[in-house]
Structure 1
Amino acid sequence: MSRRILVVCHEGRPDAVAAADNLSAALQANGIDTIRDGSAEGVELAIVLGGDGTILRAAEVARRHDVPLLGVNLGHVGFLAEAEEEALPDVVDRVVARDYLVEERMTLDITITRPDGTVERDWAINEAAVEKGARARMVEATIGVDGRGLSTFGCDGIVLATPTGSTAYAFSGGGPIVWPDVDALLVVPVAAHALFARPLVVGPNSVLEVEVLPYEEKHAVVWCDGRRMLDAPAGSRIRVCRGAQPVRLARMSQLPFSGRLVAKFRLPVQGWRGVRERA
């Protein structure tokens, strides 16, 4: 049976399309069939060319069929990507040889129960972000963990994140960086008007809740990975827990997560173990 690989790129970017063409040609030259931006059914791997946004889009397709993703960064930070564009020849060689590992990343299952009784469900690999529906207004909300309320405040938003998402929106909101092999969930209030509105890190089996208070008919929305928006009118309850189905990421490098942080964020490490910055 022939091998099949899904190639996903940002079709609106000529450089990404050209890279996908070259990658597909190289894989086909090694006897591997490629599919471009289609279904992940029956493929062994999805190779994604682009930034984190393109990888998140591909995750929506690959997760349905439990297919691992291998990201090649054509964007800026590309934190979810495994390789940079200049490493594409090595990516081809490693994929042909099946020389890669697959790790699972926690996801979130999100349930919104609205005051009219309607229920909507979604998922995320990075975060569910509860945000104000109108620019001039705050979100008035109560947060709770495991069935107990913790605090009520007005804010610009509340980020409910996985460890993978700790370096995304949660990080921008002042949350901690959590290593991806740590089983945990994060709650990060954004611009909250309250004394007790610190970021929280809770266990993986905890249930997080946000209730949008029915004050002044204030409206909120929930963004799942910044890609899918769900309405959360005043009186809604947002429930977030560990997802039943993870996302699988293909890894070629044994670089520890600390090394990835340094490389992606270009962190200064001069002086570590006596190493000095060279002129």
Structure 2
Amino acid sequence: MPKPKAGIIYNDIKPIACKVATEIQAKLVDCGWETFMATGAGGILEYSTPGSPVCHTRIEQLTPSNFDHDLEFAIVLGGDGTVLSAFRQLAPCGIPLLTVNTGHMGFLTETYLNHLPQALEKLLERDYEIEERSMLAVKVFRNQALLWEALSLNEMVLHREPLTSMCHFEIQIGSHAPVDIAADGVIISTPTGSTAYSLSAGGPVVTPEVPVLQLAPICPHSLASRTLVFSDREPVNVFPATSYRMVMVVDGNGGCYILPDDRINIEKSIYKARFIRLQPQEFFRILREKLGWGLPHIAKPTSVELP
């Protein structure tokens, strides 16, 4: 009978993640699992430069060697950036991920290092549920040719370069009439990304199971430009309505320069981010613990004694 297979993705910049990854691999091997390891660097998109405007790797080509549909699960050790990178690497294979926080915020992580022994026990006993979240397929076209593409769990951001003036964006959602937005930039985000850059830009928080996307202008030059929430069945096309170059960034990780005649196409991806949940997911609890949402106000005194 073949051995069950598992993977480990870790942030090799953090010594603690490297140490724990080795320890987990040894434990899994002792328990009879065939284990494969890779760093989160394989999912980093990198930044283009003016002299090399495209850093393009096809979506399905980011998966590490030996990681395939046969893996029962993978364990991710790092912060939110490593989680985003790991899903870009493994979502095309449908591998569910147990995300372990070795970073700071850890909004996307399921457990912490001090809870890891109990988490591994539940994992090996297959005592968990899988939560699926939508991802975006972001593609850049130039003269109808595919120039760049990437998977995104959080958002696509298109913004002006430093020291340039405000930009105009022509945006078409599905078959609806295009709209023109004057702003420093625009954000197209998933429900998962609603608690990331879109939240900082004034967008609403959307619970993960709602089948929508949202468009949030960054510093718009109009009182009428507000965040728009729309069905995730609608494709989005963004055209830079400006005469100079812009910058596109996906998941705060990397991207490419966008020229005036380029077109950015954003659609809900056929691939999903599959999170391993060791306990029933309570999204409002995470909002409260990580972002302080819904914390009770301190009661004011009922009376004040005057001197």
Fold match by TM threshold 0.5: yes
Q: How do 1:84-233 residues align onto structure 2 when only pairs under 5 Å count?
A: 84-114=112-142, 116-120=143-147, 121-149=149-177, 151-213=179-241, 215=242, 217-233=243-259
In structure 2, distance between residues paired with 1:97 and 1:135: 56
Q: Is the 8 A contact 1:77 1:265 kept in 2?
A: no
Q: Measured at CA, do residues 74 and 266 of structure 1 come closer, stay the same or move farther in structure 2, by a change above 3 Å?
A: farther
1:50 corresponds in structure 2 to: 78
Q: CA RMSD in A?
A: 2.1
In structure 2, list runs of 5 or more residues that go unmatched. Answer: 39-63, 299-307
Q: CA deviation at 1:22?
A: 2.1
1:20 corresponds in structure 2 to: 21
SS in 1 for 2:233: coil
Q: Is the 8 A contact 1:27 1:92 kept in 2?
A: no
Q: Measured at CA, do residues 164 and 6 of structure 1 come closer, stay the same or move farther in structure 2, by a change above 3 Å?
A: same
Q: Measured at CA, do residues 123 and 135 of structure 1 come closer, stay the same or move farther in structure 2, by a change above 3 Å?
A: farther
In structure 1, distance between residues paired with 2:131 and 2:181: 38
Percent of aligned positions that are identical: 30
1:262 to 285, 288, 307: 288
Could you state the TM-score of these two structures normalised by the residue count of structure 2? 0.82
Deviations 1:27-47 (A, max 9, x none): 223222321114321311110
In structure 1, list runs of 5 or more residues that go unmatched. Answer: 273-279
In structure 1, distance between residues paired with 2:21 and 2:221: 47
1:59 to 63, 76, 87: 87
Q: CA deviation at 1:7?
A: 0.9
Deviations 1:118-143 (A, max 9, x none): 32333211111112234433332122
The one-letter code of the counterpart of 1:243 is S
Q: Measured at CA, do residues 134 and 270 of structure 1 come closer, stay the same or move farther in structure 2, by a change above 3 Å?
A: closer
Q: Is the 8 A contact 2:88 2:152 kept in 1?
A: no
In structure 2, distance between residues paired with 1:142 and 1:117: 17
Q: CA deviation at 1:21?
A: 1.9
In structure 1, distance between residues paired with 2:288 and 2:178: 35
The one-letter code of the counterpart of 1:17 is C
Q: CA deviation at 1:193?
A: 1.2
1:240 corresponds in structure 2 to: 266
In structure 2, distance between residues paired with 1:206 and 1:48: 32
In structure 2, distance between residues paired with 1:51 and 1:10: 8
The one-letter code of the counterpart of 2:145 is T
Could you state the TM-score of these two structures normalised by the residue count of structure 1? 0.89
Q: CA deviation at 1:54?
A: 0.6
